[in-house]
Amino acid sequence: MITKTIMCPKCKNTLTVQGNPGEKVHITCPSCNIKGVFTFPIDESISRVVHDSFALEIKDLTKKYKELIAVNNLSFNVRKGEIFGLLGPNGAGKSTTIKAILGLIHTNSGEIKINGFDIIKKGIEARASVGYLPERVAFYDNLTPLQTMNFLSELWGVDKSVSKPLIKEVGLEDAINRKVGTFSKGMVQLLGVAQVMIGKPPVYILDEPMGGLDARWVKIIREKIKMLNKQGATILFSSHILSEVENLCHRVAIINRGKLIAEDTVANLNKYLRIKPRLEISISGLNGRVPEVIKNIEGIEAVNANDDTLFITCESYVKSHIITSLQNSGLKIDNIKTIEPSLEDAFVKLIEGGA
């Protein structure tokens, strides 16, 4: 049972209600009689207990290539229905991890489950629940997209009538009878996205799906990821470009040199690292001088002045205090920009800290 205090959106009257997580209650405001529905939030700790089945389970994964330890005792889980980002600089072990998940490479140790199926003991069932887009995808030069998709559908064990709609879905219908050997990199990648959806598996693993593609293709692929997730699919994708991940993923794991450095939501990662937002304030006539009034404000980490722009790194709660102080001292503020901490900052901090 949860107790919540809610506020009427119209008359601002407050009311206390009780209910179970996920329960919906119909409320009538006692003072202005407006009707509304309130849904009790699902408690995080409860949902974690309920989520005993994961889409992907990676436990103690280690892969050595001769002297090099590509993946070092890596463990993480991907929950059903989430978009999970696997982040790390080039050569961090992302592709190796993904290939190990699919059983394409042999591991030195570790246990991997896709949709509950062990990739070694139940390889066929595990692979039947996952669509995979490799980092360097290629097909057969002498076959057309339609022949390629027909072949792959048949290999998956579904009727080849799915081929045409999927080719259409990624926008390759104009090239449906051209040989794949004549395709551009972006077109091959789109065919790669089309084949991922054969058989409508519940889990998708995309290795650098947007790597090296121009903005138009990136947009199509982002939309496909969102769409699949909306339909209930779980998606794991890797990237070394943070902006790709930030607005798309529910959670991310950051790996470097084959080791897990962090695994959390983007927001929590920022909080955990306590990366402070930055203020960029344009003041005419500043001339690279830091105003006296803000020098003694507590909560400011760093101040920099460059020509007419002031750069301040500070705690969130002092932002308004800084601005009022500046205005009260008679300075004319032309523009204010707040730069929220990005994953890039978290990334740099984590890797520097870990190295």
Partner 1 sequence: MVGFNFKSVYTIAKKEFMDNIRSRWIIAISIIFIILTIVSSYVAGGQGEFGGMEATVATLLSISALLIPLIAIMLGFSTIAGEAEKGALYVVLSYPVRRVEVLLGKFLGLGSVLALTPLIGFGLGGIVIAATVGAEEGLAYLAFIGLSILLGVMYLSAVICISALCSTRVRAIAGGVILFFWAMIYGLIVMSIYIASGGSYEDFLSPSGLSSLPDWFWTSVVFSPNDTNQMAVMQAFGLKQAFGFQIEAPDWINMPFLLTVQLIWLLVPLFLAYFFFKRRDI
Rounded to the nearest whole angstrom, what is the least distance from the CB of residue 7 to partner 1 in the complex?
51
Instruction: Return the range that interacts with partner 1 (CB under 8 A); candidates 30-38, 138-146, 312-320, 323-331.
Output: 138-146
Q: State which residue, 146 or 248, has the beta carbon closest to partner 1.
A: 146
Give the Cα separation of 165 and 42 in Å (integer).
38
Angle of helix 215-230 relative to helix 185-196, nearest 10 degrees? Answer: 0
Among 2, 27, 42, 105, binds partner 1 (CB under 8 A): 105
Among 6, 42, 104, 176, binds partner 1 (CB under 8 A): 104
Closest to 134 in 3D by CA, of 189, 87, 81: 189
Label residues 299-325 b or e (16+ Cβ within 10 Å = b): ebeebebeeebbbbbbeeebbebbbeb
Q: Which amino acid is at 118?
A: D
Residue 102 within binding range of partner 1, rule CB under 8 A: yes
Residue 155 within binding range of partner 1, rule CB under 8 A: yes
Instruction: Return the range that interacts with partner 1 (CB under 8 A); candidates 15-23, 75-83, 144-152, 212-220.
Output: 144-152
Residue 132 within binding range of partner 1, rule CB under 8 A: yes
Among 17, 27, 80, 151, binds partner 1 (CB under 8 A): 151
Instruction: Return the range that interacts with partner 1 (CB under 8 A); candidates 146-154, 213-221, 222-230, 342-350.
Output: 146-154
Instruction: Return the range that interacts with partner 1 (CB under 8 A); candidates 28-36, 134-142, 243-251, 269-277.
Output: 134-142
Residues 71 and 93 sit within 8 Å (Cβ to Cβ): yes
Write out the two tokens for 290.
């830091």
Instruction: Return the range that interacts with partner 1 (CB under 8 A); candidates 4-12, 73-81, 121-129, 297-305.
Output: 121-129
Residue 106 within binding range of partner 1, rule CB under 8 A: yes
Residues 232 and 156 sit within 8 Å (Cβ to Cβ): no
Residues near 126 by beta carbon (within 8 Å), at least 6 away in sequence: 103, 113, 114, 115, 117, 118, 119
Residues touching partner 1: how many (CB under 8 A)? 32
H, E, C per residue of 23-63: CEEEEECCCCCCEEEEECCCCHHHHHHHCCCEEEEEEEEEE
Write out the two tokens for 109.
């140790």
Among 32, 138, 227, 333, binds partner 1 (CB under 8 A): 138
Give the Cα separation of 153 and 233 in Å (integer).
19
Give the Cα separation of 281 and 262 in Å (integer).
33
Among 43, 60, 154, 334, binds partner 1 (CB under 8 A): 154
Residue 157 within binding range of partner 1, rule CB under 8 A: yes
The enclosing H or E element of 16 equals: strand 14-19
Residues 240 and 90 sit within 8 Å (Cβ to Cβ): yes
Phi, psi of 199 (to 5 degrees): 80, 0
Q: State which residue, 104 or 351, has the beta carbon closest to partner 1.
A: 104
Instruction: Return the range that interacts with partner 1 (CB under 8 A); candidates 18-26, 142-150, 165-173, 211-219.
Output: 142-150
Among 78, 86, 152, 187, binds partner 1 (CB under 8 A): 152
> In the window 30-69, what residues touch partner 1 (CB under 8 A)?
none
Residues 171 and 129 sit within 8 Å (Cβ to Cβ): no
Residues 43 and 28 sit within 8 Å (Cβ to Cβ): no
Among 4, 12, 48, 136, binds partner 1 (CB under 8 A): 136
Rounded to the nearest whole angstrom, what is the least distance from the CB of residue 263 to partner 1 in the complex?
24
**Residues 175, 180, 184, 186: is their CA dihedral positive or negative?**
positive
Residues near 77 by beta carbon (within 8 Å), at least 6 away in sequence: 54, 56, 57, 58
Residue 7 within binding range of partner 1, rule CB under 8 A: no
Rounded to the nearest whole angstrom, what is the least distance from the CB of residue 28 to partner 1 in the complex?
55
Instruction: Return the range that interacts with partner 1 (CB under 8 A); candidates 45-53, 126-134, 232-240, 344-352.
Output: 126-134
Residue 145 within binding range of partner 1, rule CB under 8 A: no
**What are the residues binding partner 1 (CB under 8 A)?**
99, 102-106, 123-125, 127-128, 130, 132, 134-143, 147, 151-152, 154-157, 192, 195
